[in-house]
Amino acid sequence: MAMQENSRSNFSAAQASTVDPGEVAKFSKLSYEWWDPNGKMAPLHKINPLRLTYIRDAACRKFERNVKSLNCLSGLRILDIGCGAGLLCEPLTRLGAQVIGIDPSASNIAAARLHADKGHLSIDYRCTSVEQMDVRERFDIVLAMEVIEHVTDLGMFLNRCAAMLKPGGLMVISTINRNWKSFALAIVGAEYILRWLPRGTHQWDKFVTPDELAQHLANNKLAITERAGVIYHPFADRWSLSSDMDVNYMVVAEGI
């Protein structure tokens, strides 16, 4: 009886998956470098404070929290999809959230657990994909940060994400636009000239335009309520929000 119930309530291995094994292998090779701010993940470390602030502020507006409170996310349940080694999970936990971080890479999850243990942080890390999670689980906030450009089926992925949201919940997505500017900056510039990222990290044809993303979200009864571009200032060596969404951008979506 228990086995039958489990098969009904979970997206099992028999269910379709949006995980690309090649992408998992690619990022698994970097698992030992995730927490090195001067290593191959340095760009992610530099942009992480901006991502965290964007998520925190959107959550505080939605759930009427004091953004200045050290525990402003207390009581909120957050799912971080494609969490890597936990660069967002840890600061969100420190803000009081109950965080579940999932990633299909076993080595990434191992690195995440080790780092969380060193920091005495209680984070529920799982080596899994969103399609394999129990369909009964629900979250106040679902994060897909730098993830959607790596999945095999965007519509299916967002459908599963939408199903994990509680009524009135938020989904926050960060990704890369698809145009010649993003090809020049996000691939040629970042991977081949500046060498911020290993070559082959991104595939230009898998980038997603804001209009395409909005349509996929609408198909899953979600609407974009906030959007912002993310731009890099080379002389200041920092990232900031902008109205320019030509390359990197972030959105907040809510149920229609």
Q: Which two tokens stand for residue 57?
A: 């502020």
> Quick one: pLDDT at residue 201?
66
Q: What is the pLDDT of residue 2?
A: 36
Compute CA 104 distance to the chain's CA centroid, rounded to the nearest angstrom: 13
Burial zone of 121 (CB within 10 Å; 0-12 exposed, 13-18 middle, 19+ buried): middle
The whole-number pLDDT of residue 196 equals: 62
Which of the pair, 190 or 111, is modelled with greater confidence?
A: 111
Question: 134 Cβ partners below 8 Å, 6+ apart?
Answer: 9, 10
According to DSSP H, which parts of 97-223 are helical?
A: 106-118, 154-163, 180-182, 210-219
CATH number of the domain where residue 126 is located? 3.40.50.150
Based on the structure, what is the number of domains in the chain?
1
Residue 7 has pLDDT above 50, yes or no: no
Tell me the residue ranges of DSSP E strands in 146-247: 165-176, 222-233, 238-242
Q: Which domain holds residue 10?
A: 2-255
pLDDT digits (tens, 9 = 90+) for 21-45: 876 676 676 677 889 998 888 888 9
The answer, yes or no, to whether residue 12 has pLDDT greater than 50, is no
Share of residues in the chain with pLDDT > 90 (%) = 69
| Helix, strand, or coil (residue 26) | helix
Higher model confidence: residue 13 or residue 246? 246
Q: What contacts 40, CB < 8 A, 6 or more positions away?
A: 30, 33, 197, 198
Return the minimum-mean-pLDDT range out of 7-21, 80-94, 221-235: 7-21
Residue 242 and residue 228 in contact, taking contact as beta carbons nearer than 8 Å: yes
pLDDT at 117: 94
User: Which carries the bigger pLDDT value, residue 3 or residue 38?
Assistant: 38
pLDDT value at position 202? 63
